Amino acid sequence: MTRLALIFISCCLLLATTPTATAQPYFDKQQGGQSRSKGVTAQQAAKKVQSRFGGKVLKVQPSGNGYRVKLIKKDGRIVSVFVDGSGKIKG
């Protein structure tokens, strides 16, 4: 029983630390990174938030007249920030 538990824990740790090949890009596929109303693109919003807060961008979704950018910081905290159409970071 102890051997089985050790194998299970080892597999879980291995899977948790291995990057997945099927990870989706951080910007919304439907939007395709295009600008919304001649404002910032999803990629520009992601870069702007990442440069301000650091960490890794998890997802960028269209929201109203801008984008909601979700990222994970080095300390493990998840931050969600709104970038409006002009590129201003709010919240």
Whether pLDDT at 30 is above 60: no
Domain limits, the chain: 22-90
pLDDT, one tens digit per residue, over 42-78 is 999 999 999 999 999 999 999 889 999 999 999 999 9
In whole angstroms, how far apart are CA 42 and each of 5, 6, 19, 72, 89? 44, 43, 23, 17, 13
Query: What is the architecture, at CATH level 2, of domain 22-90?
Result: Roll (3.10)
What integer pLDDT is reported at residue 14 of this predicted model?
A: 61
What integer pLDDT is reported at residue 55 of this predicted model?
A: 93
Burial of 14-46, coded b for 16+ CB within 10 Å and e otherwise, reads eeeeeeeeeeeebbbeebebeebeebbbbbbbb
What integer pLDDT is reported at residue 59 of this predicted model?
A: 96
